[in-house]
Each structure stands twice: as C-alpha cells, then as structure tokens.
Structure 1
Amino acid sequence: MAVPTPAVLVLEDGTRYAGRAYGAQGRTLGELVFATGMTGYQETLTDPSYAGQIVIQTAPHIGNTGMNDEDMESRRIWVAGYVVRDPSRIVSNHRSQRSLDEELVATGIVGIAGIDTRAVTRHIRDLGAMRAGIFSGEDAGLSEEQQLDIVRSGREMSGLNLSAEVSVTDAAVTAAVGEKIGNLAVLDLGVKQSTIDNLARRGFEVHVLPATSTLEQILAVDPVAVFYSNGPGDPAASDSQVEVLRGVLDEGLPFFGICFGNQLLGRALGLETYKLPFGHRGINQPVIDRSTGKVEITAHNHGFAVKAPLDGPFESPNGYGRLEVSHVDLNDDVVEGLNALDIPAFSVQYHPEAAAGPHDANYLFDRFADLVRTHAGRGSSSGDAAYRDPVISPDSHRKDA
C-alpha cells in the first residue's frame, strides 16, 4: 500500500488541520466555505458559483458514485480546492466513467482528505468564512509561518468580480423544447447547465451571452425576456452588469434572476447588498414563498445577500415602483426573493434548478414563463400592480422539471 502524502489545511486565523493529499498536489488558496449536501458533489464541483472557494463537504463519505459527463453543470470543475473526510476507495455506480480522485488530478484541483470536516465547519460557523490554503507535496514542507503568510496574502472575496472568469466568451444557443415562447437572453455570470435545460423546456430559445455583454448586444437577440444567472463574487463589484440590467428594466422587458442575479436586481432597484458571515450553501435551506404560504426546501450557494424591508411593499429607491420581499429564509430571515409590483421583474436568491437538491422551487421557471406570456398579451404596458398575476397555484411546485 502506498504511503499517503501529507497535506495541511491552513486558515488565515492560524488554525491548522493535518491530513493527506487528495487529488492534485501542490498549493491552492481561496475562501473556505462549507456545503451541507449529502449527495450531488459533482454538481457542487462544477457549479461556477464556487469559483475562488475551497469547499468543505460536511458529508463524511465522498466519491462513491464517481464522475460522469452527463452530470456536469458546466465545462469544468471550478472550486479552488476540495476538503473531504473519507474519500471512497472504490466507485460503485453504473453511470460512473472515472473516479473523483482521477478527475481532481486530471483537472489540477488540490484537495485534502482525512480531516474532521465537521470540526472545520463548526469553526467556520463560529468565526465566519475566511481565507485558507491547502498545501501538499513540496509545499507541505514549507514552515508554518510561510504557509500562513501565503494564505494571508490571498485575495478577499469582498470586492471581487469573478463573472468574467467563469462566463462564456462567445454566445451559445439552446433550442426551445415544444412550443416556442421566444428568444431568452441569459447573461452568463456562472450559469449551470440545468438552468439552461429548465428554461428551454419552458419554451424559451436560450441565448447564453457573455457576462461582458452590453444592453445593445442583449437587445440584438430580439429577446422576449432577460435572465441573469447565478455566479461567484461580490455583487457590489459588478457595476457594469447592474447598469445593463437597469437598461433592461427601462426597456420594459420581463426579467428573472437567480442567486447572483437576485443580488444584481436588488442593486439595480436601488437596494444594498452585504456579506453573510458564512453564507448559505447546501440543499436543505427552508424558504417560505410568501405568495403561496408554502415552505420549500431549497438549494443554496451564496455568500452575499440583499438588504430589504421584510414587512409590506416599499418603494424602489431607483424609481421602479413598488417592491416586496417574496421569499424569506426561515433559518435567519435573510431575503431570498424580490418581486417588483409595477414592472415585470422578480428574482430568488437560491437555485430552483436544484442540481443537486430538492425540486420544491422548480415551479419558478413556470412562473417566469407565465410572466412572459402575460406581458406579451398586454403589449409593453406596465404599472398597475398586475405583475402579481403570474403566481402559480399552491400545488404547482409538484410539477416535474
């Protein structure tokens, strides 16, 4: 049996966890966060929203189903590093094409195994997400002082714009499934393949555009609506995308945003965003949809949130009429959705495509399609609180994706 290669996880507060190398060897730096999903590690690894972050899996046993091409949520693995407790020694799923360890090595993802990941998670929950580094191979031989200095020299997530790093560079089109509603302009801030598939299944011809797209480039695809995707980074560092979104709203186009897109809608409407202590990441967050009273178990991956009044409608500081908080996290009262009452726009802070995760919130894609159809039936007029109309019946969340 091969002798394990030593590795160490170093946090910026000086805390150290010794383990063994997993995946590629060397060093990596990033913001240390935890994900609570008991399954779906491939979707987590390939979610562009995790760019720049070292991810801890709180589930103790990782890798038993291997990796395959079908479940990739984007073109590559995006995590900066990977922390697990007990990697599976074998792969036992008929869909597997390679092991997780092989994939990490092939893609250069530095990881660490054999540490108490729940102890690290408790540390992060107490002190907040922080910079960290994984050191293995030759880098494990650096002194503790050298390793800590390297970690503390790493970039902070606050103020960081990562959209251009994860976005496509050229536009891509996915054909509508079934009866076509029209062209949908998707600004790729880190979009997942499951999101594209869900939108196409609702009848949209999905035009995925680079994060650097201008309003003119968005309008050039003749969209019936615009969608802003999930993505990594600080929404306060995305001024250009916010200005483009304000142009979209001024044009009167229906808009739907998820995760990062929710934060950018908040900014476009004149609201502030802020950094959460350790964020929401995982597939078990309870959120109430205030329009239906339903409590949904939802998939999250965000370290920032929108600051908005929870009680009653309020006016948009930027002049877009009345707004309301549509969804709220029941664990901590964080704003999880916004609804504009006088213009055709809404957003949620979580992932309704739920890959991986529960499908309780999948109805939001239906709500968006209904909003677009309703808006098209009215022409371009707006402004009579009619945009409450696209609320789906309380049982609509049971529809299959």
Structure 2
Amino acid sequence: MGLRRTLGVGDAVVIGLGSMVGAGIFAALAPAARAAGSGLLYGLAVAAVVAYCNATSSARLAALYPASGGTYVYGRERLGAFWGYLAGWSFVVGKTASCAAMALTVGAYVRPGQTHAVAVAVVVTVTAVNYGGVRKSALLTRVIVAVVLAVLASVVVVCLGSGTADASRLAVGGASVTGVLQAAGLLFFAFAGYARIATLGEEVRDPARTIPRAIPLALGIALVVYVVVAVGVLSVLGAEGLGRAVAPLADAVRAAGVPGLAPVVRVGAAVAALGSLLALLLGVSRTTLAMARDRHLPSALAAVHPRFQVPHRAEMVVGTVVAALAATVDVRGAIGFSSFGVLAYYAIANASAWTLSPAPVSRVVPAVGLLGCGALAFALPGVSVSVGVVVLGVGVVAYHVRRWGAAR
C-alpha cells in the first residue's frame, strides 16, 4: 500500500523550515563563533553555498524519483544498491542522534532539573502526532514555524535597535581557513532540513513540480533568517562574546537592554527544538520505511497503517529508540557525528546528481556540492570525524555480511 499524497508546496516548505529554522539557530551560532571568530559570516556563506548545491541536486533527483527515502532511493537508482544503503544508513543513524538531541534541548529549556523525563515525554507525544498522519504533522509544524519566526524577529529588532549595537563588530578579519570550514560544518547541521522534503516524496501532490519548488524556497527563506539573526546578535555581542555565550540569543537580548525578552527567547528555543524533532522523526521513519522495503532493515518496518496511511511500525520503532537515547544519554557530543553523517548523505546525493547528465555545465553544481561536503565533513572536530568513520564502517560491514548471508 502506498502513502497518501496530501502535501502541497506550502506544506512541504513549512516542513523544511520546521527543520532548518529550528533549534540550530538558537544553538549553532555560539560554537561556530568559537571555531571561526570574526569569520563566522564567512562560515555561514560557505555553509549556504554547499547547502544550495545539495538542495539543487536533491530537487533534480526528487523530481525523477518521487518516493519516500530521499538519497537512499537516489543513490540506489543512480549509483547502485550499496551507495543507496550507505546514504540511508548515514541518514537514519545520524538523524536518530539528532532527534534525541532535539528532545533533550526541549527538556533543558522547559525544565532543566528533569531534562531526560521531559525529553522522553516529548518524543512520545511527537511520535503519537506523526502516527495520526503527516497532514496533522504539517499543520502543527506550520504553527511552530510561525512562533519561532516571531521570536527571532523580536530578537533582531531588539538587537539592531538597541544603543549597544555596533556595526564594527561585524568586521571580518584574521579568521583561519580551518576555523571557517569548521564553523560552516557546524552551521550546515542547521541548514540540512530540506532533506525532510525529499524524504516525503511519496506524500506530496505532483512531486515532479512540488519538490523542485519547495526545496530551494525553504532553503532561501532559512538563509535570510540565519543571516539577519547572525548580524543582529554579532552587532551586540561581537564574535568573542557570541563564542562564550551559553544561550546566545537570550544573552544578546539581555546585552541589548531588554532582559524581559529572555524568557520568551527560551520558550522560542524549546518550541524550535520541538519543530525540529517533529520533522526529523518524519524523515527518519520514511527512510526506514524505504530501507525496509528493500530488506536492508527488517521487512516488518515497511508496513503502512490501513487507516492513517503512515509507516506506523517504522515510526514506533524510531520513536522508541529515540526515547531510549533521550532517557539515558547526553547526546550533545553526537551533534558533530550527526553533521558528519548528514554531509556523507549529501555527498552521495551530489554524486547521484552527477550522473543525470554528461553535459559539463550540468555537473558544476553537483561537483561543487560533493567537494564541499567532503571538505566540511573532515574539517569537523577530530572526535566527530573518528566516530563518524567508525559508525559508517559498521554499516558497511553489516551490508556485506547481509549480502554474504543471502548468497549462501
């Protein structure tokens, strides 16, 4: 049984924004500033260029292969079964860790003393919403995006309108190439939400038209938001102050002389993390569905609910794993690994797009995207790279063991 096609361009854009304009904008700026210093805006520009290439490649592929699974499907169809599997493995493992991180972010902002308990409750609630159908998920995401954008707009107005704002703090100079690339890799983590649109390819109306329009539109809106917020916060805190900030947006409004807005920003951060979690769980469960259909994961996970027409078993299993992680593990350190996995996923997307046309002009964007993904992945902190290589290696071994068993 196929999934129900209920999403239009607006719904698809909102789901992408729910992932991109989420917790990342509240958390990623500080570590990026620590890595790049005054080169933060350069890092943002590099991340945007790589994201644009990835989005363009993904949109072209999604128009040809409008099925759930995203790059898992593209890699399989264009490069072979192994590369599709590796893309799916990178996405599912990396984004499962991201889901747990988002849930813990909600818990940390809502009730710091009971972070894990709140995180588990949030995962259970969001899984139940997704179980009821993707249309309901899209409607909830629309509300979340509206709230987050309102909070971010307030932060920008307060920062740029305050007497403490200083344009000289935006000056760029003295940043190392390594620092800029590392900052770009960290910021890319927040940009990567447009993948959720591609993984919902089987649930959008007229996917050949909807997906190529929705992905660049969602990315463009997110980029504008990120630039405006980064400029506003930098103008008040400067690169050094931003790098030291624990809650950068809340610190910025306090430094701008409006401490009363800080609690609102904290609520906005919690809502943003909730939106990211909602969209991430959607994407991971759909990729799980696609891999189960091809028996790379247990075939029972390919079941579609007869009434709600969602991959209910995949959603329940993913939700259970994320809840277990949120209850027992501090996954903040896994965000770097998640970035590594996402960049590996998009490297395969660009390699797949490279095969679509032999024309040199058509290959410029996927070539830049492929090289960019590799550069950003290996510019991440050493621990993240090491863990990422090991986990991807485990996936490779599992694939070949399964094939060996099937051959016997």
Q: TM-score, normalised by structure 2?
A: 0.29
The one of the two structures with greater contact order (alpha-carbon pairs below 8 A, sep at least 6) is: 2
Higher strand share: 1
TM-score normalised by the chain length of structure 1: 0.29
Higher share of residues assigned helix: 2
